Every structure is written in C-alpha cells, then in structure tokens.
C-alpha cells in the first residue's frame, strides 16, 4: 500500500512541475525572475524558455553556492524576513513547495507583492490539505498526510502510510525542523488570501487525485494533491 502511494505521489509531483512550467511560460515575460527557496538551482533553470535573468533566495548557504554555480544570482536569506531587493524589481516571482514551511505567510506575500513590478506575475505552488487522500486520512482518525512532518524526533507522525514514516530530518540529508509543514492552505484559502493583497488570480492548476490518475487533479484542483496558482499584481498602484 505504501509503495503504491509513493508511486502516486511521484506522478502527482511530476505533473505539478509541468503545471508550474506551463504557468511560468504562459503568463511570464522575459526579464528578471526571482525564485524564492531556489535550493541548488536545478529546478530553477528548468522553468524558463525565455530570455530570463534568474535571481534566487535560499536559506541554506551550501545550496545557495550550488545555485550560484548555475549562474543564478543568489542571496542567502530567510523567507520570513524582508526580501533583500528594492521594490518593483521583478517581472515574475516563483515559489514551489515553500509557503507551507513558513509561519509568517503575510510577510511572505506582502514582500512578494512589493518586489514585483506593476503587472508582474506570481507563480506559487503548495500541497492541498483538502485533497482526497488527506480527507480520507482524517476520516480514519489519522494525521493528514500533508501535516505529518511536525517533529524533530520522528517524521510521519500519526499516519502509518506517510512517505517518511519513522525517519528523522537527518535521514533526509541533515535537514532541520524548519523543513516541517507549518501552514497549509486550500486552493480557495490561498486565492482568498492573495486577493486580499490585491493580486488578481489568473489560473489554478491541480495535480494528483489519489487513488485515481494524477491528471484528474487538473479538473478538480480543490481536491488535488498539489496545486499551483498564477496571480498578477495590478498594473496601477
């Protein structure tokens, strides 16, 4: 059962990456793009097929150095702080599987809005607590899959089918508790929050619809495993 779920997870994640690439290329334009939580930059450089100047923010200095070797202009910083850029700098801001790890998501969104140029685009992707597999886990009295990595003692807390069950953050390459999930937002909630900061929602794409084929998540992002949101900052302030 766990092997089957792991296979479904990877298919959903792969489709989500394709959704992100599509949204970035369809709504983004050539210019300065910022990746928040860029890690080693390998995913960052896959996103754009345009004449893009890539910038990145990464909290782990070793990973930031690897991204810099790929030509990304990286700054080492927390994403729960003021971003180290002047206002109205970027044409597009991207962040994949990051917001769920943060506590101060208001600052995060407010800073994204600030550094985007008028008319700039945000592409943000995260897990969905309202996915069918999370709902099913709750019906069984288990911890939802998306909220099992909450302890430095043990991962996969409260769910016998959790992907990282009984592992620790050290088993995942020395990661710290900062990699746990702290804030989970449904597609409806994230769209609602972005609108409160004056973003216009352009598109929401889902992926993963366990135990059914991952592509069905595109038809019902409200219950997909992952989802990606494209939103635009107004042209006029």
Tens digit of pLDDT for each residue in 83-93?
Answer: 999 999 999 99
Report if residue 156 sits inside a domain.
Answer: no
Report if residue 188 sits inside a domain.
Answer: yes
Cα(197)–Cα(187) distance, integer angstroms: 16
The domain that holds 51 is classified in CATH as 3.40.50.150
Mean pLDDT of 148-169: 84
At residue 175, does pLDDT exceed 90? no
Strands (E), 109-225: 116-127, 200-207
Nearest to 166 by CA among 180, 149, 142, 179: 149
Helix (H) / strand (E) element for 31: namely strand 31-36
Report if residue 134 sits inside a domain.
Answer: no
Tens digit of pLDDT for each residue in 135-151?
Answer: 999 999 999 999 998 88
Report if residue 145 sits inside a domain.
Answer: no
Confidence label for 9 from pLDDT (cuts 50, 70 and 90): confident
DSSP class per residue in 84-124? SS-SS-EEEEEEES-GGG-S-HHHHHHHHHHHEEEEEEEEE
Structural domains in the chain (count) = 1
Entry pTM: 0.92
- 3-state SS, residue 196: helix
Report if residue 165 sits inside a domain.
Answer: no
According to the model, what pLDDT value does residue 42 have? 94
Tens digit of pLDDT for each residue in 47-84?
Answer: 988 889 999 999 989 999 999 999 999 999 999 999 99
Helix (H) / strand (E) element for 27: namely helix 2-27
Report if residue 115 sits inside a domain.
Answer: yes
Q: Which domain holds residue 195?
A: 2-127+183-232
Report if residue 167 sits inside a domain.
Answer: no
- Are 111 and 98 contacting, i.e. CB atoms less than 8 angstroms apart? no
Report if residue 157 sits inside a domain.
Answer: no
């Amino acid at each position: 059962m766990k092997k089957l779920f792991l296979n479904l997870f990877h298919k959903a994640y792969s489709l989500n990456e394709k959704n992100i690439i599509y949204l970035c290329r369809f709504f983004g334009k050539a210019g300065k793009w910022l990746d928040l939580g860029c890690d080693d930059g390998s995913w960052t450089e896959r996103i754009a097929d345009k004449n893009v100047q890539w910038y990145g923010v990464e909290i782990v200095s070793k990973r930031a150095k690897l991204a810099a070797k790929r030509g990304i202009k990286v700054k080492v910083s927390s994403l729960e702080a003021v971003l180290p850029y002047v206002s109205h700098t970027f044409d597009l801001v991207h962040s994949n599987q990051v917001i769920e790890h943060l506590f101060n998501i208001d600052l995060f969104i407010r800073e994204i809005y600030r550094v985007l140029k008028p008319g700039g685009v945000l592409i943000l992707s995260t897990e969905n607590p309202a996915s069918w597999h999370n709902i099913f886990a709750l019906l069984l009295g288990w911890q939802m899959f998306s909220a099992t990595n909450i302890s430095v003692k043990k991962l996969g807390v409260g769910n016998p089918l959790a992907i990282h069950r009984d592992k620790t953050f050290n088993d995942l390459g020395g990661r710290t508790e900062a990699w746990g999930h702290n804030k989970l937002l449904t597609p409806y909630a994230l769209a609602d929050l972005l609108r409160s900061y004056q973003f216009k929602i352009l598109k929401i794409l889902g992926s993963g619809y366990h135990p059914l084929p991952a592509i069905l998540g595109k038809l019902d992002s409200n219950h997909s495993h992952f989802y990606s949101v494209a939103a635009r900052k107004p042209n006029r302030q």
